[in-house]
Amino acid sequence: MRPILVTLLALGICQCSPVANKPTPLVMWHGMGDYGTSYFSMGHIKRLVKKNVPDIYVKSVVVGANFMEDIVHGFIGNVNNQVEQICQEIAADPELQDGYHAVGFSQGAQFLRAVAERCPTPAMKNLISIGGQHQGVFGLPNCDPGNLICEEIRRILDLEAYAEWVQDEIVQAQYWHDPLHEEVHRNKSRFIALINNDQTLMEEQRENLKKLENFVMVKFLNDTMVVPNESSWFGFYRPGQDVEVLPLRETDLYIEDRLGLKEMDEAGKLVFLGVLGNHLDFTDDWFVQEIVEKYIKDSV
Ligand SMILES: *[C@@H]1O[C@H](CO)[C@@H](O)[C@H](O)[C@H]1NC(C)=O
Ligand SMILES: *[C@@H]1O[C@H](CO)[C@@H](O)[C@H](O)[C@H]1NC(C)=O
Ligand SMILES: *[C@@H]1O[C@H](CO)[C@@H](O)[C@H](O)[C@H]1NC(C)=O
């Protein structure tokens, strides 16, 4: 009796993880000013994940051909094309064919959401947004002193964020969101208004986003980079002014469920996490306990 039981149990366990012993892989997209092959930032996260999930395959996104292009493309370029490049790489990567989890840092978070909405194959399972800006930003506050590209971009955004050439070439303009001119935003934004179904309701984007198992959004409670900080939880200014902030559940986007977020919320797929500290200021322990253990490591 006993050996049969053990065999049955063993078979049962095998069916839980069909790709024998191969953990669900991970795709990461870095933030502005950073690059995918950095030894310190993305490299550190990769080592941290691998330490806790041995044998996991981790792809750290590199936009363009090399690390210099990757840094520059964090400021300059067309985000739709960047997303398309990464979609193609994911589709062509044999390690990712059975699905993957995704972690996006800062602007990398909304770029990975675009991947989830536009490129459903292979499947993104959990999307983890670390200090993302899902409703865009209205302001680009702290540039590192001496970062001339950043200073110049701030100047351009203040003057003409919705000019056609700016929307085509300046990355931060493509998730700029002016709540004082919502209609201009809807008409002219070439990225964030599109992936949020603010311009036209693209049913496919909605259906694809809903396929996520979990959409985890981390907001830094002392974030002075993301304006308004609620954008990390998909909230934004009440239209027409830039003082009062609406949480996601009170926005039209949610109430009308144009992106499937309400349905996902009701299914328990939206996770809102708060972290004390400024933008991307988290500890290794927090990342391992709250992100790796809960949303990256396969449960047995
Ligand atoms: C936005 O686009 C619509 C439809 O083309 C147009 O009627 C409206 O005037 C535009 N509004 C602004 C503020 O550009
Ligand atoms: C976060 O946003 C709220 C609402 O706009 C604001 O009152 C608060 O000061 C912001 N927090 C930080 C740390 O900037
Ligand atoms: C967060 O901001 C509050 C109020 O601005 C401040 O009292 C607190 O020390 C800050 N905490 C951290 C971890 O930065």
Q: What is the 3-state secondary structure (H, E, C) of the chain?
A: CHHHHHHHHHHHHHHHCCCCCCCCCEEEECCCCCCCCCCCHHHHHHHHHHHHCCCCCEEECCCCCCHHHHHHHCCECCHHHHHHHHHHHHHHCHHHCCCEEEEEECHHHHHHHHHHHHCCCCCEEEEEEECCCCCCECCCCCCCCCCHHHHHHHHHHHHHCCCHHHHHHEHHHHHECCHHHHHHHHHHCCCHHHHCCCCCCCHHHHHHHHCCCEEEEEEECCCCCCCCHHHHHCCEECCCCCCCEECHHHCHHHHCCCCCHHHHHHCCCEEEEEECCCCCCCCHHHHHHHHHHHHHCCCC
Q: Does some domain include residue 173?
A: no
In a domain, 90, yes or no: yes
Q: Would you place residue 140 in the very low, low, confident or very high pLDDT band (cuts 50, 70, 90)?
A: confident
Q: Residue 96 belongs to a domain with what CATH number?
A: 3.40.50.1820
In a domain, 55, yes or no: yes
- Percent residues over pLDDT 70 in the chain: 92
The pLDDT value recorded for residue 246 is 98
Catalytic annotation, residues: 106, 223, 279
Total structural domains in the chain?
1
Q: How many angstroms separate the alpha carbon of residue 220 from the centre of ligand 3?
A: 11
Task: Using most ligand atoms within 8 A of CB, pick from 229, 233, 237, 278 the residue to mutate for ligand 2.
Answer: 229
Q: What is the mean pLDDT of residues 93-107?
A: 98
- Domain assignment present for 260: yes
Q: Has residue 182 been placed in a domain?
A: no
Give domain status of residue 153, yes or no.
no
Tell me, yes or no, whether 172 lies in a domain.
no
What is the number of the ligand closest to the CA of 231? 2
| Residue span of the structural domain in which 258 resides | 22-136+202-236+244-296
> pLDDT tens across 47-61, in order?
999 999 999 999 999
Which pLDDT band, with edges at 50, 70 and 90, does 21 fall under?
A: confident
226 in a domain, yes or no?
A: yes
